[in-house]
Structure 1
Amino acid sequence: MSETPLVDEAEVTQAIVDAYYGHQAEWIAFTPEQLGDDFFDLRTGRAGAIAQKFVQYEMGLAVVGDIADRVTASNPLADWVRESNRGRNLLFAADLDELAELLKQRRIR
């Protein structure tokens, strides 16, 4: 997938369908760049809409990349990342090794 931000929810839905039917994937990982700046500005509602698509299609969403500056700048985002990483459907990781550890901790494949 390219590094350009996802344009709309239809594109997200297509990525989910492609991952599931093309690869029987249970998770999709995106970089912060692929999700775009609006995803991390929780006031836009973009993160919630995208996360809801993943819940609706019973697919896991992983955000893999450095978002430390964004988390430091936004208490709501910091809270959301922390709570998400305690759950089973949405994970934030700095790199693929951290993502693998988070998935292992939850016994998620």
Structure 2
Amino acid sequence: MKKILSALALTAFLTGCGGGPSDAEIEGLIKAEIAKANELMASLGPLGKKGITEIVNISNHGCDSHKTMDGAYACDLEITSKNMLLGDNTERKIIDLAKTNGGKWYFVR
């Protein structure tokens, strides 16, 4: 019985019940924002198309509870991207995320 309880506790811990966003959720949000920006760039013609950004990698260095907003998280991300105008770029930044009542994550701006 003790082993079963330990296994259940470990499973709950590893699945992050009610915690911050998963890496897949973060990646989905960032890629959706980049897709919107790319749409705008493409609408600017040939020069704009050179500014279309491709996400190469997103590394999550951890998400902590936000210091001033209940239910929000501050995620330390390293994002590598590239485009024809700026070349390769790696940027590390803290991005604040919160969840709607419907359970969908969004950027806090």
Task: Report the TM-score range of the alignment, normalised by the length of the smaller protein.
Answer: under 0.3
The higher radius of gyration belongs to 2
After TM superposition, the score normalised by the length of structure 1 is 0.25
Which structure has more strand as a fraction of its residues? 2
Would you tell me which structure has more helix in proportion to its own residues?
A: 1
